[in-house]
Structure 1
């Protein structure tokens, strides 16, 4: 750990140990759990369960990391004490579609007490009431940008929950698309700093992803129960980049890059059923997800001189599937809790890629492109045994051990299938030394995920870059140590500090492939060291009634050895710094609230073999809102983002060959307008 990072951690630790009020909130229980009831959130007028969760003081929601299969849990949110084990949004997605009136309470508990493999630190358990009558909710969220972007008028969600006999069901529709846009100047200079080209670029993108879902909960015989979720998401996306290029040599031109995804769709089904069996309880889970993803990218260049247009087209039809079967058996012996899990996962990518070039007659002619098509599949078996025990009223331990066996292959290639055995496991300690404090320490052995797309060639036309496929890619593995410390500050709120150190093998990065190609591959070793500090400060004690301040600070230092120079450098694109500050004021005695927030992020450069790039937006993004909690029974919020004029920036260094031995060919610098973004939110119930 660098000296600067060490000093920052010491400063955060010093701030974390104030001598403010030592009182335990009145909702604290003897088990160390903190219980929040709907009354604690009344001033925010929440309409969904997720609205409540977002207002938990000092709590950072962590979604599932999209890792291998279902495996160990990473989402730190439970519903009725159970992990929502699916690949389609998990508990957070479910709570977004759950009416706030259905929430009985929210418990903040130490993960080591739960017996759920993978969790550490503080976990939110949302306890829901049984449905008694039908209830619905909706939200309309239009968005308009001042510059370049298409407006987004049809945006929002609606859901209906009801009960029919032994079935609780929920029907929902939710739009998940978005808009993006920026535009402005780009300057290109040669190795000596002379301007050789000026560009005026406009980028805009839109996506529409309506998700239709139906969820059913079944109360079976005895204590058995089951859940079934079916979801279908058709989608349409497209993006356009238009840039005018004025060159020093007079060979001016205009380039158009268009990407379309039409008639794409995702279907996913999740089902689970649990019942008493012998001394314990068995839960069986089935998951299937299928993505039909056609992508058409066309790039053409028109010359002022009148010479024939140049162009390239890449069409990719991808079919992606994942099927998971999992069984979990839980039982207790005295104060000891056990869980044995068995899982099988089948993943498959079938990609058909076609590369075409524009001929002088204006027709696209298909080229030989064998690296752009193929089938990649993996079959994996995993088994884990979890042991949990309360060693004392203040100390809990959880131990997880097991491993996975996998078989990975290119079905249509001539390379033999590769087989792997990878151990997995973790040790978690949860300690509550005194009423205001909680401490969690976790040591973890983790196997990461890989993208099957990286096994095949993927032209990046907008960046003028060709990523070669790599059939030898393997998942990264890591040893991880994390320490999390939380302190309740009585009437002032609470604060948490998480420090971590990760030792990674087979890190995913850009590596040389062949004589002059590059693509995604594995580097031997890397490390990540840093901390995350989040706090919620209630300002009532200082006379600012109804106000609270949410803060977050993330600092990280990463290291990997560059495959060309042999020098240590940051992991490509890794986050180095994140700062978030937000003030919310619910005006006492009124239905009005207002707030302002700002965030600042710094990331590492992206390292390729022939170039180094750094893209970012900022330096600061601000957000301002005003909210009325009862406009004819509706909750209405108006928001404006980016009044501080954060801009889209890029600094790209491109070399004539390998960057460690070749001169600089050109430098590209973007400084482009994003502009303000105006949003409206209207929430209601029916």
Structure 2
């Protein structure tokens, strides 16, 4: 690892820091602020991103309730509270000046159940009021509006025992592509050529706050509140030129908006021989969705069209306790959680009448509600078997009741075991291994219980009132090796066995819905790391690499053959080169990203949609333009395109004849980005 000994060193050799709020770990690696000076970081996120071989992970998303810890970043040894704010968002609001150091440790050695593999513990000492801002803007050469109002402004401060953060942000995007679609029949004969284009935009303005109050005596409270609005639109004009028949002009428009909020609080205090933590959370989101398709013809015949509307209200309410104590030189914790999830949805399907008005069609399957009441408990145990070998074990179970209202009313109850067993071995200061076996229960998408319509591709999804969460056994191995002045490398190998795997499956004679299709397996191998180029004489330069390859097996419920998981990632490669020129405020670099995803399988069609083959971007950055950091980049310089291939059948597979084959190849074009960030 290329760094001065005082900047990043084994924790056992680190001198004490007057401002540190906790001692450095006995095993692991610590990075002090001086290590990051060459990058001129503005916040903790900038610093964590520059740690060799480490990448921020929120834990994969889709977690049921709050549960055990899943992300790989802590603040002063504690988990982030809340669910709607990502680790990256919260780290970006911690000023770099408040970071005392960052410790990289093995998660299984900590007294936080659920953590395994490398974890970054960011040691923070709030020194007073400070603010940050970041403005993101840009545009694409084709099909899109300019992206003008992205970024965030945040204020972090301290008043006595109260620490606070207030942030106003807008996560946004502009996207689009244009190009031909070709439709052919089963023999390859041309049916129709189409000139197509789509353009869209997304904005998510949000106000988020965090308050921490230290009552003294190890009594600590947190309160988080956030409120935001989503605004999404997508327009897809199309002109079809059939081999025979009138020219068709299509207008397809999609809109979605709605509010969302989250309130969460926790209180930790000593109790008896240990400490008790109480957590409460309330989340709510409303989506107002509509899509409208209209086809008109140049021969004057009546236009054709449909409109689909959907109003959904989803919420989650959680109460949780965690009681931890030390006994027999080991860390113990007992925890319990009650979670109540809900979805209410009203759907409407309309057909265009000859007079230009829309007439509502019967669609009762799209309206209804879903409720889940879930209770779980667990007991965890963690200990150092030897100074270099640690063990963590969690045993638990959950009881849940799922109830559906509407035309397909149903109620069911389930009792499922879950837990994990993890070993971590640190045979040398620059080498560690971890192995974890975990039993998990997956998170359902309540929208799959109710019927819906996709006008853009002509598919209708039936509801499924018998849907149950998948369950899985997952075995994960991680190996980390620090390479001295050359950087760091990580190898991960994982295998998962799924029960009640969820994908599309047949319903009735001609329908299909999301449902449980049986057992499945997935094996993955990943290699990531940081290669520093200082030993080659290119001081300040490094390459970040992350690659994954997956092998998946599930039996297709329509044709009975083994295939990968629909639309899941088969492989990806992410390479980033950055050179911070020594003795200057200039940095430049390049990145490459390529991904292969699996085809999808439905009752009447198969296909694959993707973008690529590779996205390449270039950037230049000045870290002190009147005290500001300015970054300019150009993306997609290699000309990646948006592509789609699908075969649609006239009757259900496997016996149906081919109705048509569709092939699209759309231009994305170059993307220009500009950002300015600073402190106040």
Q: TM-score, normalised by structure 1?
A: 0.95
Distance 1:254 1:345 in 2: 49
Deviation at 1:116, TM superposition (A): 2.1
Distance 2:618 2:134 in 1: 19
Match of 1:139 in 2: 134
Correspondent of 1:672 among 662, 666, 676: 666
The change in CA–CA distance for 1:499 and 1:569 in structure 2 (over 3 A counts) is same
CA shift digits 1:325-345 (9 cap, x unpaired): 000101001421011110000
Match of 1:89 in 2: 85
Deviation at 1:566, TM superposition (A): 1.4
Query: Which of 409-418 and 514-523 deviates more?
Result: 409-418
Distance 1:414 1:517 in 2: 15
Distance 2:678 2:89 in 1: 18
Match of 1:8 in 2: none
Deviation at 1:450, TM superposition (A): 1.1
Distance 2:229 2:575 in 1: 36
Do residues 189 (structure 1) and 184 (structure 2) align?
yes
- Over the aligned positions, Cα root-mean-square deviation in angstroms equals 1.6
Query: Which of 398-407 and 304-313 deviates more?
Result: 304-313
Structure 2's unaligned 5+ residue stretches are 13-25
Distance 1:609 1:279 in 2: 59
Query: Which of 434-443 and 630-639 deviates more?
Result: 434-443
Deviation at 1:177, TM superposition (A): 2.1
Deviation at 1:274, TM superposition (A): 0.5
Distance 1:34 1:280 in 2: 28
Correspondent of 2:251 among 251, 256, 260: 256
Distance 2:249 2:115 in 1: 52
1:24–1:488 CA contact under 8 A, matched in 2: no
Do residues 357 (structure 1) and 351 (structure 2) align?
yes
Match of 1:500 in 2: 494
Distance 1:123 1:169 in 2: 25
Correspondent of 1:594 among 562, 574, 588: 588
Deviation at 1:499, TM superposition (A): 0.2
Deviation at 1:164, TM superposition (A): 2.1
Distance 2:578 2:306 in 1: 50
**SS of 1:430's equivalent?**
strand
Deviation at 1:447, TM superposition (A): 0.6
CA shift digits 1:161-181 (9 cap, x unpaired): 112232111111011121111
Correspondent of 1:230 among 225, 230, 244: 225
Query: Which of 491-500 and 410-419 deviates more?
Result: 410-419
CA shift digits 1:549-573 (9 cap, x unpaired): 1111100010000112211111111
Query: Which of 454-463 and 218-227 deviates more?
Result: 218-227
Distance 1:624 1:450 in 2: 39
Deviation at 1:25, TM superposition (A): 9.1
2:571–2:597 CA contact under 8 A, matched in 1: yes
Match of 2:215 in 1: 220
Distance 2:62 2:46 in 1: 23
Distance 1:401 1:492 in 2: 41
Deviation at 1:115, TM superposition (A): 2.7
Deviation at 1:90, TM superposition (A): 4.3
Distance 1:587 1:124 in 2: 27
**SS of 2:406's equivalent?**
coil
Deviation at 1:661, TM superposition (A): 0.9
Deviation at 1:26, TM superposition (A): 5.6
Correspondent of 2:369 among 372, 375, 380: 375
2:93–2:156 CA contact under 8 A, matched in 1: no
Distance 1:152 1:59 in 2: 31
Correspondent of 2:149 among 138, 154, 162: 154
Do residues 32 (structure 1) and 27 (structure 2) align?
yes
Distance 1:308 1:100 in 2: 64
Distance 1:90 1:246 in 2: 46
1:176–1:209 CA contact under 8 A, matched in 2: yes
CA shift digits 1:424-475 (9 cap, x unpaired): 0000100011222100000000111110001011101111111111111111
2:310–2:346 CA contact under 8 A, matched in 1: yes
Deviation at 1:493, TM superposition (A): 0.3
CA shift digits 1:467-504 (9 cap, x unpaired): 11111111110001011011010010010000000000
Do residues 450 (structure 1) and 444 (structure 2) align?
yes
Structure 1's unaligned 5+ residue stretches are 1-17
Distance 1:639 1:494 in 2: 27
CA shift digits 1:213-255 (9 cap, x unpaired): 1211111142201111111002221111111100001322011
CA shift digits 1:576-631 (9 cap, x unpaired): 11111111000011110000010110010011111111001010001100000000
1:254–1:301 CA contact under 8 A, matched in 2: yes
1:440–1:484 CA contact under 8 A, matched in 2: yes
1:636–1:682 CA contact under 8 A, matched in 2: yes
Match of 1:99 in 2: 95
Match of 2:485 in 1: 491
Query: Which of 160-169 and 50-59 deviates more?
Result: 160-169
1:83–1:91 CA contact under 8 A, matched in 2: no
Map 1:572-583 → 2, pairs under 5 A: 572-583=566-577
Distance 1:29 1:50 in 2: 21
Q: TM-score, normalised by structure 2?
A: 0.96
Match of 2:195 in 1: 200
Do residues 681 (structure 1) and 675 (structure 2) align?
yes
Deviation at 1:102, TM superposition (A): 1.4
**SS of 1:27's equivalent?**
strand
Deviation at 1:261, TM superposition (A): 1.8
Distance 2:402 2:564 in 1: 29
Distance 1:97 1:199 in 2: 47
Match of 1:5 in 2: none
Distance 2:97 2:669 in 1: 38
Distance 1:378 1:512 in 2: 25
Deviation at 1:24, TM superposition (A): 13
Do residues 509 (structure 1) and 491 (structure 2) align?
no
**SS of 1:494's equivalent?**
strand
**SS of 1:471's equivalent?**
coil
**SS of 1:68's equivalent?**
coil
Distance 2:563 2:215 in 1: 57
1:294–1:318 CA contact under 8 A, matched in 2: yes
Match of 2:471 in 1: 477
**SS of 2:197's equivalent?**
strand
Deviation at 1:656, TM superposition (A): 1.3
Query: Which of 357-366 and 55-64 deviates more?
Result: 55-64
**SS of 1:535's equivalent?**
strand
Do residues 163 (structure 1) and 158 (structure 2) align?
yes
Match of 1:11 in 2: none
Match of 1:122 in 2: 118
Match of 2:552 in 1: 558
Query: Which of 637-646 and 211-220 deviates more?
Result: 211-220
**SS of 1:141's equivalent?**
strand
Paired residues, number:
665
1:345–1:380 CA contact under 8 A, matched in 2: yes
Distance 1:416 1:622 in 2: 50
Match of 1:537 in 2: 531
